[in-house]
């Protein structure tokens, strides 16, 4: 969708249709569509990267927790 919207914007400029009022609004709509989808892709990529980071942190913390659980508790004198 991003590529198609940008291609439509370029087409409007190249053909000269962006010079009219209708073409200007169509150009703005195409650019807005590209921006909305680009922001959504950025959000999805950020969420996926955050999930991977959390997964790495949990994986790194799991051996330490397992090792601590295996050790017997020290008696209090």
Digit-coded pLDDT (tens) for 27-73: 999 999 999 999 999 999 999 999 999 888 888 877 655 665 566 66
Nearest to 32 by CA among 71, 61, 67, 5: 5
Q: End-to-end alpha-carbon separation of the chain, Å?
A: 70
Global confidence as pTM: 0.68
10: tokens are 């370029």
Distance (Å, rounded) from C-alpha 3 to C-alpha 36?
Answer: 12
Whether 1 contacts 33, CB under 8 Å: yes
Nearest to 2 by CA among 35, 47, 44, 24: 35
């Amino acid at each position: 969708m991003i590529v198609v919207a940008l291609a439509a914007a370029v087409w409007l400029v190249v053909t000269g249709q962006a010079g009219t009022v209708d073409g200007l609004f169509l150009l703005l709509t195409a650019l807005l569509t590209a921006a909305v989808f680009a922001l959504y892709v950025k959000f999805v990529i950020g969420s996926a990267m955050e999930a991977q980071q959390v997964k790495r942190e949990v994986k790194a913390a799991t051996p330490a927790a397992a090792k601590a659980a295996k050790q017997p508790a020290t008696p209090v004198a």
